Each structure stands twice: as C-alpha cells, then as structure tokens.
Amino acid sequence: MSKATVLVTGGSGYIASWVVKYLLEEGYTVRATVRNLRSEDKVAHLKAMEREYSGKLQLFEADLLTEGSFDESMKGCDVVIHTASPFFIKGLKDAQKQLVDPALQGTRNVLETANRAESVKRVVLTSSVAAIMGDNVDALNKVNRTMTEED
C-alpha cells in the first residue's frame, strides 16, 4: 500500500505527530485531524510538515464527539490510524465524563465513518500505556520492565 492515503486522527498528539512524520517520510499521502486548526501552539509542527511535504499532508478539524466530524477528512482514504483520545495531565475531575465517554464515542464516530467510507480498507486503533495504569504508583512499579497482556 505504498501509494495509500492515510488518515491519522488526533494528529497534534505526541504519538500521532510521529506517525504522521514517519508516514510522510515513507512517501504516503497523509491527512491528519486536529481539534482546532487555529490553535497554533498545537498545530505549528504539523503546519511545518505540511510545508516541507508540499501536497502530501492535509490538515482537517474534527471533534470526537461530533457525529460526521470525520467524514470529509476520511473521503478517499485507504487506511485510518485512530490515535485521537482525550488526555489530561492535571485538572481531571470526572474520569468517566472527561476521558472514557469521549474516547468511546470518538472511536464509535471514527469507526462508523470508516464503515460508510467505501475507500477505507484498514483501521488501526491505538492506545496509550496510560490505559493500563491506574495512577503514578502503578507507573513506578512498571518502570524498566516489559509489559505483557497481564498488564
């Protein structure tokens, strides 16, 4: 699939940004979604890649909680790499409302869009190590070891 067009959701995130970069370096055409294209501090690095790989990267706004939000960005894509998910370093008050519900609804929205998009042949769902760690104590206990399915 060397000529594939790949959509990366959550393109401004740390992992997604590297996925976008590596895909561009390998010659893929990439589309990336972000929450807000006007948020320069979060998208400046993607806009720099957009300039560097002229015509190979296109940025779109999409919201995990808005049905149909990924329709335009997914049109004509062969592969979808879904990395978008809410993540908080601090200020988390209600994990269910702020993390779980948006992650679940966002994944549903992306998968429903992929089901409607005739061009999509493959969907890759990603997760973070944060999904298997309850808190910082768990993280400290898992430092310098390989995690397994038991985690």
Domain that includes residue 111, residue range: 5-141
Distance separating alpha carbons of residues 50 and 24, to the nearest angstrom? 10
DSSP assignment letter at 88: -
Q: Domain tally for the chain?
A: 1
Distance separating alpha carbons of residues 55 and 43, to the nearest angstrom? 17
Answer whether residue 146 is part of any domain: no
Answer whether residue 27 is part of any domain: yes
10-31 pLDDT tens trace: 999 999 999 999 999 999 999 9
Distance separating alpha carbons of residues 88 and 48, to the nearest angstrom? 26
100-146 pLDDT tens trace: 899 999 999 999 999 999 999 999 999 876 666 655 555 556 566 67
Residue 12 belongs to a domain with what CATH number?
A: 3.40.50.720
Answer whether residue 25 is part of any domain: yes
Answer whether residue 98 is part of any domain: yes
